[in-house]
Amino acid sequence: MTARARRISTAHVLALAETLTEREWSILTTVNLLRLATGLQLERLHFAELTGKSRSVVRWRVLKRLVDAQALMPLTRRVGGSLHGSAQLTYALDTAGERLLRLRRNLSQTKERIRRPGPIGERFVAHTLATSELYVQLVERARAEGFMLDDFQAEPAAWWPNGAGGWMKPDAHLSISAGEFTDHWWVEVDLATEAVPTLRGKFLAYIDFVSLGQLGPDDVVPRVLVTVPTLERRDVMTSVVTKLPAPAGELFAVVLHDEAVGWLTAELSEATHE
């Protein structure tokens, strides 16, 4: 997928800004944050208060309006089958959406990063949507359990200077808190597509960061959560970590994708009860 080269007038952007609902602004903000999100992920985030058939109907109507206005751009292929409607489509920020968010940023004088992805391949889509799913599950769990998701940044916003002229490039940074306790994590979302030497080099970069005495967001050293798709891949990752120099054992945690949010909240809960 590439960005559509249709010109958008300033008048169109200004008129659209006047008509957007809070829900629609929030959807654009989410897609900008994550770079890509499926219709179902957006439904879980922004239509959770609706029930039954009305939830999918309203989601379809809102996303169609944003697409028609060139605020969102659907990828041509669906994810996970050919279900009717917009649930299985994947969405990126479109031209008008980018300009709308820039307009709002300029008016509010915030430092919000606004970006549209360039050419998109299948590997990028799968990896980005896996990161988006982690965010969606964190939001859902925070609503249910009452902890705070204080920050979530996907790449490249999650990248951080490494103290040696380069960058740490995690897939995401997140912080969650309960009471006085806050946990910071860098996240590596693994889809079992990278070779072991590549993984070892990536992990050593985190150890070098610690050894240089560098600090991450909020002046702490985030731990590194590595999420993997299968038990076999978890064994591979764990083997790589155990052969790394200190403080690898304390720095890295390897968990299955589906268990990541539960594991994060259990770690936070344990810290609050110590």
pLDDT cut 90: percent of the chain above it: 78
SS3 of 26-60: the string is: HHHHHHHHHCCEEHHHHHHHHCCCCCHHHHHHHHH
Residue 26 scores a pLDDT above 50: yes
Confidence of residue 121 (pLDDT cuts 50, 70, 90): confident
Residue 105 scores a pLDDT above 90: no
Mention every residue, 6+ apart, whose C-beta is less than 8 A from residue 59. Answer: 39, 42, 43, 46, 47, 86, 87
Enter the tokens of residue 246: 């200190």
Q: How far apart are CA 86 and CA 172, in angstroms?
A: 26
Q: What is the pLDDT of residue 86?
A: 60
Residues 202-231 have pLDDT tens digits of: 999 999 999 999 999 999 999 999 999 999
Residues 256-274 have pLDDT tens digits of: 999 999 999 999 988 776 6
DSSP 3-state assignment of 65?
Answer: helix
Helical (H) or strand (E) element with 68: helix 52-68
Q: What is the pLDDT of residue 2?
A: 44
